[in-house]
Chains A and B, each alone.
Chain A
Amino acid sequence: MNFEFSDDQKQLRDQARRFLAEKCPPKAVRAVLEGSAGYDKALWSGLAEMGFLGVAIPEEFGGTGAGHLELCVIAEEMGRALAPVPFSSTVYLAAEALMLAGSDAQKQKWLPKIASGDAIGTLALFEGPGNPSPQAIKVAAANGVLNGVKKPVADGAIADFAIVAARNGSGGRETDIALYLVDLKAGGVEAKTLTNLDPSRNQAELTFKDCKAEPLGATNEGWSILSRVLDRAAVLMAFEQVGGADRALEMGRDYALDRIAFGRQIGSFQAIKHILADMYVAATLARSNCYYGAWALSTNAGELPEAAATARISATQAFQHCSKQNIQVHGGMGFTWEFDCHLYYRRSNALALSLGSLSYWEDQLIERMRKKNAA
Chain B
Amino acid sequence: MNFDDTPQEAAFRAEARAWIAANAPKQYEDELAKASLGRLVLTGASVLDVAKAWQKKKADAGWACLHWPKEYGGRGSSPIERVIWQQEEGAFGKLSRMFIIGHGMCGPTMMAYASEEHKRNYLPPLASGEKVWCQLFSEPAGGSDVAGLRTRAERDGDDWVINGQKIWTSGAHYSDYGILITRTDPTVPKHKGLTMFFLDMKSPGVEIKPIKQANGQSEFNEVYFTNVRIPDSQRLGAVGDGWNVSLTTLMNERMSIGASVATGFPELFDYCNDLVIDGAPAIDDRAVRAKLANWAVKASGLKYTAFRSISALSRGERPGPENSIGKLVAGSMIQEVATYALDLQGAAGVVSDPAQAEVAGKFQAMLLRSPATRVEGGTDEILRNIIAERVLGLPGDIRVDKDVPFNKIPTKGRG
Contacts and interface: CB of A to CB of B under 8 A. Distances in A.
Contact of A366 (B293, B383, B385): B293
Contact of A361 (B3, B293, B310, B393): B293
Interface string B373-394: 0000000010111011101111
Nearest to B284: A370
A157 B314 CA distance: 49
Interface stretch (A94-102, A228-236, A281-289): A281-289
Given A273-B384, A289-B304, A268 B293 contact: no
Contacts of B329: 281, 285
Chain A: number of interface residues, binned into ranges: 35 or more
Interface in A228-279: 249, 253, 256-257, 264-265, 267-268, 270, 272-274, 276-278
Given A365-B297, A373-B273, A270 B397 contact: yes
A285 B398 contact: no
A150 B87 CA distance: 50
A369 interface: yes
Given A281-B325, A359-B290, A366-B292, A268 B301 contact: no
Interface in A317-375: 317, 359, 361-363, 365-367, 369-370, 373
A365 B301 CA distance: 14
Contacts of A161: none
B329 to A, nearest CB: 6
Nearest to A364: B293
A291 B304 contact: yes
Contacts, number: 163
B395 A268 contact: yes
Given A362-B289, A363-B289, A291 B273 contact: no
B296 interface: yes
Given A280-B325, A373-B273, A289 B5 contact: no
B310 A1 contact: yes
Given A280-B387, A289-B304, A310 B297 contact: yes
Contacts of B296: 310, 365-366, 369
B385 A273 contact: yes
A147 to B, nearest CB: 33
Interface string A1-39: 111111000000000000000000000000000000000
Contact of B398 (A4, A249, A268, A317): A268
Contact of B384 (A264, A277, A363): A277
A313 B290 CA distance: 11
A217 B392 CA distance: 49
A361 B297 CA distance: 11
8 contacts: A253-B393, A276-B388, A278-B384, A285-B329, A295-B1, A309-B293, A366-B292, A367-B289
Interface of B: 1-5, 9, 269, 273, 283, 286, 288-290, 292-294, 296-298, 300-305, 307-308, 310-312, 314-315, 322, 325, 328-329, 381, 383-385, 387-389, 391-398
Interface of A: 1-6, 69, 249, 253, 256-257, 264-265, 267-268, 270, 272-274, 276-278, 280-281, 284-289, 291-292, 294-295, 298-299, 309-310, 313-314, 317, 359, 361-363, 365-367, 369-370, 373
Given A257-B394, A361-B293, 18 more contacts: A1-B2, A2-B311, A4-B1, A257-B393, A276-B392, A280-B325, A284-B325, A285-B298, A285-B325, A288-B305, A291-B307, A299-B2, A309-B293, A359-B286, A359-B290, A365-B293, A366-B289, A366-B296
